[in-house]
Amino acid sequence: VVLAGRTAMWWARLRSPCPAAVPLPLCLPPWLPAGPVARERLYSSHGKEKLDMSMYPVESIRNFSIIAHVDHGKSTLADRLLEITGTIVKTDRNKQVLDKLQVERERGITVKAQSASLFYNHEGVNYLLNLIDTPGHVDFSYEVSRSLSACQGVILVVDANEGIQAQTVANFYLAFEAQLAIIPVINKIDLKNADPERVEKQIEKLFDIPIHECVRISAKLGTNVEKVLQKVIEKIPPPQCNTADPLKALVFDSTFDHYRGVIANIALFGGEIQKGHKIVSAHTKKRYEVNEVGILTPNEQPTHKLYAGQVGYLIAGMKEVTEAQIGDTLFLYKQPVEPLPGFKSAKPMVFAGMYPIDQTEYNNLKSALERLTLNDSSVTVHRDSSLALGAGWRLGFLGLLHMEVFNQRLEQEYNMSVILTAPTVPYKAILSSAKLIKEYGKAEITIISPAHFPDKLSVSEYLEPTVLGTIVTPHEYIGKIIALCQDRRAVQKDMLYIDERRVMLKYLFPLNEIVVDFYDALKSLSSGYASFDYEDAGYQAADLIKMDILLNGNPVEELSTIIHNDKAYATGKYLCERLKDSIPRQLFEIAIQAAIGKKIIARETLKAYRKNVVAKCYGGDITRRMKLLKRQAEGKKLMRKIGNVEVPKDAFIRVLKRQTDK
Amino acid sequence: SALCPQWPYCRKHCSYCNFNKYVVPAVDEAAMGACLVREARTLLRLSQVQSITSVFFGGGTPSLASPATIAAVLDAVASAAHLPASAEVTLEANPSSASTSRLAGFRAAGINRLSIGVQSLDDAELQLLGREHTAAEAWGAVEVARGLFPGRTSLDLIFGLPGQSLGTWARGLEVALGLCDNHISLYQLTLERGTALAAQVSRGAQPTPPQDLLADMYQTARAMLVAAGFQHYEVSNFARKGALSTHNLSYWRAEQYIGVGPGAHGRFVPWGEGGRSREARVQTLEPDAWMREVQSQGHGTRRRVVLSPLEQLEEVLALGLRTDEGISHERWRHFSPHLSLEAVFGVPGEARALQQQGWLLLDGGGLRCTWEGLAVLDSLLPDLLCQLQRR
């Protein structure tokens, strides 16, 4: 079987909706032979020699990841490594761009990681090199950290032309803090503008890695890639664990297969595992019987067993991806072990309302959401409804990109167009009122909806989520970028010239200040040259308030927002102006106000119609006229009445929708 | 029934006009005239109309047609149906094609009322509108017309031009009041998509007239005309000494009318071919195509749509409320024998709310707008249609 590029089969299985009703061969990549042969090859272990993994003792195993900034060549290097080790056949088709989502291409991120076991003979020893890929974006930093915890080393790829970028820095620190061996690789040395010396100096300055340790390669041409493999064997230590210990397996990724259920990617920190073993999840305490284990090459290849230090997959009758949560520890029934540290359930950081454009599409959207979340347990889904937008959901995402990827997959894979409201972040409040504390059963509460924003009088402190942002930029844009950051209430933490022309800035941002359009603003004011990455930085005290929007004194529930006091006036004014442009004139004057409690902070006045009657109406154009009037009458039925003010749905959409979708 | 023949040709495109009109190097007047005659005959036979109450030559610029052509059409009408001497027979005329001799010719042909497209009595405004004539020529044409059609001359004015102030408009109207006869139509300029003037405004070459200024202009004009003894009998129409246009009233009263000529619209029951329902009809737009159809099949009807009882009532409502008399109980009953005006609009609902707010009246006379309501009729109609549709 020819495996094209970024293990296209893997992708195809992950990506395509592949609903159960569709006959399987239709879901196969087009270059694979359809029919029972292909089916067997992919999805069944029958008639196939199972690998004996006991040939690979711990000393001959290396577990590593490749980490890099967007487009610096991580996937191309992975393709070359797979080719050199004979894991995939060398062909022109091995290009990582296959089948990617638009948002991934635009932002150069990998949403779903792949992993592969490589077999490599070095100086007479057969090595098992496990390449554990990581999702390529900070929204998935928890997954990245879990993937890294299955590794002992990383290959840090930096573009010889672009040099260190924001994500390079973030990735480096993740690996550094996990105390992993780091192999710096300077890629794309074949490019005309490549300047590996400069990049080596940046690496030395910023990461304190001696220049001579950098490997200069061209992943595209294959130059020096063998050297990288040798470095992996020499520099990265084998995993420290023992097959004689009880089973301890880390779940570092999971996917859903319509035919076989959940496929969990695991790394064994101790013991061994095989078909028939009874296992328990440390997180859910649920018990399963193992149906199949194997390695990823990179499609699933069943093995008799997996041993300590090895990496592979497991199928054990789990029905939902939530049963195989990333970071969970699996152990043998009645042989419990201390779970691996650091497990957390996926924590949504960005929330947005999602509504069908047309309510008759509700059920279709619902089933599309269900199918998409089968493969992405990190999205939280709660039913919600809005008087203006109808029935919908409140979705929680790991971050903005995660939200965008999800939305784009809905559009591209399920052909669903939705109204996505402007994203909000989870705030917190420390309650001071004994009554409220009793009601909630705790003093610290998380506030997702403005409707549940507790009054200042019963709160000792409000908290907002923050992130530590890293920006790497050519120095000529510093002034503009600093102004942008200040406007976003960010506090500068660090500023460092990584070479004569490039600067790295670190800012502590309130998360809500970057969730809407920060990335786009940064890109546009730096002509696309500045890069940005961020990591969770916990909560900080914040002067938060709830702002209401009133129409002739009546609050519009769906337009209430929680915002920082400093931003209230500007946001209030902006919302009022936008509403004024979106609500049609009516027979009376309409006051559009932004209010904090009883205090009005912004006001726009929509004047009453004083004349609204078409001048000429004779025999000629009555049909057209009647059509227009009837359309207006139909529109009336869809309007939301706030007091006596009629507000068209479009007005809500225009105000609530994310700005990028203007 | 009313009859409306269309003469589709103009000498020049006006900057604001989006009517179905054509500027061609040479008009084959004989062919066009013959086709108008033929289609008028065909449609009159189809409608089985016994008597014609009014004829209105519209366009285009019908005053560009020769009096003989007008006479031929009127002769055809008179021979196919009864055309009483009392019938109102109007011709739309441009000041640039309204010499004394032409107007006299039209009178001899049977025209007894003239509607003159003065539009403005300011040369700069006329230029902006792309009109062919000057203010002085318009003035002259109206004087000649008043001499030939005393008490039966109407003039049209446009207000709300880009850059026009309330003062300029009021002064212009004052001047026009010194010139006019007993009928005057005041049209707020509508910037129609696709016209030269709309393009100028949208690219910023001309200012957009502010909404509130337009309202002021309208209210000022209404007040001035009422003070001068005019009855404000329709949104844009004023008459004194009872000189209301019976032809136009027939549109607003949702009576039958037969459209003849390229792009003409009609509303009638085609009894002649066994029809029982009122139909909305449109004739083929393009003159040459229309003529070919008339020559081959006697008429150029392009679209016929049977109007449902609800659609008819919707038209009755939307048109009737444009007039000061509104919709009488009797006319409503004519279209809706089983559901009275009271039953539809006298019950709690939109109409009652609009009455309470002072925009609408429902009483023994029927349903009509108040003085204030007339200016915002288009904001009232969607509500009223909603209420009607629920019944």
pLDDT at B291: 98
pLDDT of residue A100 exceeding 80: no
What would the mean pLDDT of A157-178 be, rounded to a whole number?
90
Higher pLDDT, A2 or A425: A425
Contact A264, A313 (CB under 8 A): yes
A623/B265 touch (CB, cutoff 8 Å), yes or no: yes
Is A152 in the same domain as A178?
yes
Instruction: Select from A609, A617, A625 the residue whose CB has the most chain B CBs within 10 Å, as the one to mutate to test that interface.
Output: A617
Chain centroid offset of residue A54 CA: 37
Q: For position A570, which CATH number holds?
A: 3.30.70.2570
Domain count along chain A:
5
A637 CA: distance to closest CA in chain B (Å): 8
B113 CA: distance to closest CA in chain A (Å): 18
Pick from B197, B222, B249: which residue ends a domain? B249
pLDDT at A112: 54
A619 part of contact set with chain B, CB < 8 Å? yes
A619/B259 touch (CB, cutoff 8 Å), yes or no: yes
What would the mean pLDDT of A517-521 be, rounded to a whole number?
83
Work out whether the CA dihedral A223, A226, A227, A228 comes out positive or negative: positive
pLDDT of residue A35 exceeding 70: no
Instruction: Select from A609, A612, A613, A634 the residue whose CB has the most chain B CBs within 10 Å, as the one to mutate to test that interface.
Output: A613
Is there a domain that residue A343 lies in? no
B236/A610 touch (CB, cutoff 8 Å), yes or no: no
Beta partners for A216? A186
A615/B187 touch (CB, cutoff 8 Å), yes or no: yes
Furthest-apart CA pair in chain A: how many Å?
A: 97
A147 band by pLDDT with thresholds 50, 70 and 90: confident
A659 band by pLDDT with thresholds 50, 70 and 90: low
Is there a domain that residue A572 lies in? yes
**Dihedrals phi, psi of A395, to nearest 5 degrees:** -105, 140
B379 CA: distance to closest CA in chain A (Å): 6
Is B320 in the same domain as B190?
no
Interface of A with B in 2-21 (CB under 8 A): none
pLDDT at A385: 84
A630 CA: distance to closest CA in chain B (Å): 7
Is there a domain that residue B295 lies in? no
Look up residue A218 and give its DSSP letter: B
pLDDT of residue B50 exceeding 80: yes
Closest CA in chain B for residue A587: B379
A33 band by pLDDT with thresholds 50, 70 and 90: very low
pLDDT at A657: 66
Pick from A170, A205, A235: which residue ends a domain? A235
Is B12 in the same domain as B154?
yes
- Tell me which of A1-5, A318-322, A560-564 is least confident: A1-5
Is A556 in the same domain as A528?
no
Residue A388 has a CB neighbour count (10 Å cut-off) of: 23
A599 part of contact set with chain B, CB < 8 Å? no
**Dihedrals phi, psi of A620, to nearest 5 degrees:** -60, -55
Distance from C-alpha of A67 to C-alpha of A157, rounded to nearest angstrom: 6
Pick from B230, B249, B268: which residue ends a domain? B249
pLDDT at A110: 55
List of residues 6+ apart from A91 with CB closer than 8 A: A2, A4
pLDDT at A79: 85
Is A78 in the same domain as A200?
yes
Of A611, A615, A633, the CB nearest to B382: A633
CB neighbour class for A93 (10 Å; exposed up to 12, middle 13-18, buried from 19) = middle
B375/A621 touch (CB, cutoff 8 Å), yes or no: no
B319/A617 touch (CB, cutoff 8 Å), yes or no: yes
B357/A587 touch (CB, cutoff 8 Å), yes or no: yes
Is there a domain that residue B285 lies in? no
Distance from C-alpha of A57 to C-alpha of A52, rounded to nearest angstrom: 11
Is A625 in the same domain as A651?
yes
Interface of B with A in 245-274 (CB under 8 A): 248, 251-252, 257, 259, 263-267
Is there a domain that residue B256 lies in? no
Contact A571, A545 (CB under 8 A): no
List of residues 6+ apart from B186 with CB closer than 8 A: B156, B157, B158, B159, B173, B218, B221, B225, B236, B238
- Extract the runs of DSSP E, i.e. beta strands, from A110-247: 115-122, 125-132, 153-159, 181-187, 215-216
pLDDT at A3: 31
Is there a domain that residue B234 lies in? yes
A618 part of contact set with chain B, CB < 8 Å? yes
B159 band by pLDDT with thresholds 50, 70 and 90: very high
What would the mean pLDDT of A116-138 be, rounded to a whole number?
84
Contact B192, B18 (CB under 8 A): yes
Residue A77: its H or E element: helix A74-84
Is there a domain that residue A184 lies in? yes
pLDDT at A106: 56
CB neighbour class for B208 (10 Å; exposed up to 12, middle 13-18, buried from 19) = exposed
Pick from B249, B270, B300: which residue ends a domain? B249
A624 part of contact set with chain B, CB < 8 Å? no
SS3 label, residue A306: strand
Helices (H) and strands (E) counted in chain B, each on its own, are 16, 14
Residues of A in Cβ contact (< 8 Å) with B311: 626
CA distances from B127 to A580, B12, B120, B194, B216 (A): 36, 12, 10, 19, 24
Is B239 in the same domain as B347?
no
Contact A135, A14 (CB under 8 A): no
B214 part of contact set with chain A, CB < 8 Å? yes
pLDDT at A27: 33
Is A439 in the same domain as A403?
no
SS3 label, residue A212: helix
Pick from A515, A542, A569: which residue ends a domain? A542
B285 part of contact set with chain A, CB < 8 Å? no
Is there a domain that residue B109 lies in? yes
* pLDDT tens for each residue of B322-353: 999 999 999 999 999 999 999 999 999 999 99
A423 band by pLDDT with thresholds 50, 70 and 90: confident
What would the mean pLDDT of B184-212 be, rounded to a whole number?
95
A244 part of contact set with chain B, CB < 8 Å? no
A605 part of contact set with chain B, CB < 8 Å? no
B375 CA: distance to closest CA in chain A (Å): 5
Is A123 in the same domain as A156?
yes
pLDDT at A101: 53
Is A228 in the same domain as A158?
yes
B324 part of contact set with chain A, CB < 8 Å? no
Distance from C-alpha of A576 to C-alpha of A597, rounded to nearest angstrom: 16
Q: For position A514, which CATH number holds?
A: 3.30.70.240
Domain count along chain B:
2
Tokens of B83: 């055309």
Is A228 in the same domain as A95?
yes
Contact B147, B197 (CB under 8 A): no
- Strands B113-119 and B88-93, bridge-based pairing: parallel
Is B335 in the same domain as B219?
no
**Helices (DSSP H) in chain B: which residue ranges?**
29-47, 67-80, 100-109, 123-128, 135-148, 166-179, 196-202, 211-227, 246-252, 287-297, 309-320, 329-335, 341-345, 350-356, 371-375, 377-390
pLDDT at A10: 30
Residue A350: its H or E element: strand A350-356
Is A102 in the same domain as A221?
yes
Name the residue among A378, A301, A342, A341 with its Cα closest to residue A50. Answer: A301
B147 band by pLDDT with thresholds 50, 70 and 90: very high
List of residues 6+ apart from A224 with CB closer than 8 A: A215, A216, A217, A218
- Tell me which of A538-547, A648-657, B21-30, B95-104 is least confident: A648-657
Is there a domain that residue A410 lies in? yes
A253 band by pLDDT with thresholds 50, 70 and 90: confident
A390 CA: distance to closest CA in chain B (Å): 22
Provide the residue type at A603 as one letter: R
B376 CA: distance to closest CA in chain A (Å): 4
Is A512 in the same domain as A601?
no
Contact A158, A164 (CB under 8 A): yes
Closest CA in chain B for residue A609: B376
Q: For position A146, which CATH number holds?
A: 3.40.50.300
What is the residue range of A277's domain?
248-332
A46 part of contact set with chain B, CB < 8 Å? no
Work out whether the CA dihedral B117, B121, B123, B127 comes out positive or negative: negative
Pick from A277, A298, A332: which residue ends a domain? A332
List of residues 6+ apart from A584 with CB closer than 8 A: A646, A648
Name the residue among A304, A318, A240, A230 with its Cα closest to residue A273. Answer: A304
Residues of B in Cβ contact (< 8 Å) with A612: 375-379
A626/B311 touch (CB, cutoff 8 Å), yes or no: yes
Tokens of A497: 């010239």
pLDDT cut 90: percent of chain B above it: 98
Interface of A with B in 455-494 (CB under 8 A): none
B19/A613 touch (CB, cutoff 8 Å), yes or no: no
pLDDT of residue A322 exceeding 90: no
Look up residue A223 and give its DSSP letter: B
* pLDDT tens for each residue of B57-80: 998 999 999 999 999 999 999 999
Q: For position B357, which CATH number holds?
A: 1.10.10
Q: For position A281, which CATH number holds?
A: 2.40.30.10
Chain centroid offset of residue A257 CA: 21
> For tokens 């503009």, what's the residue?
A480
Is A402 in the same domain as A268?
no
Q: Count the alpha carbons within 13 Å of A661 in the hemisphere toward its beta carbon.
A: 16
Distance from C-alpha of A56 to C-alpha of A52, rounded to nearest angstrom: 9
pLDDT at A478: 96
B279 part of contact set with chain A, CB < 8 Å? no
pLDDT at A345: 67
Is B245 in the same domain as B384?
no
What is the residue range of B186's domain?
2-249
What would the mean pLDDT of A192-197 be, rounded to a whole number?
94
Is there a domain that residue A9 lies in? no
Is there a domain that residue A24 lies in? no
B280 part of contact set with chain A, CB < 8 Å? yes
B386/A636 touch (CB, cutoff 8 Å), yes or no: yes
pLDDT of residue A589 exceeding 90: yes
Name the residue among A97, A1, A66 with its Cα closest to residue A299. Answer: A1
Look up residue B343 and give its DSSP letter: H
Q: For position B39, which CATH number holds?
A: 3.20.20.70
CB neighbour class for A505 (10 Å; exposed up to 12, middle 13-18, buried from 19) = buried
Is there a domain that residue B350 lies in? yes
- Tell me which of A3-17, A188-202, B160-174 is least confident: A3-17
pLDDT of residue B248 exceeding 60: yes
pLDDT at A86: 75
Is A398 in the same domain as A470?
no
Residues of B in Cβ contact (< 8 Å) with A622: 251, 265, 267, 280, 315, 318-319
pLDDT cut 90: percent of chain A above it: 50
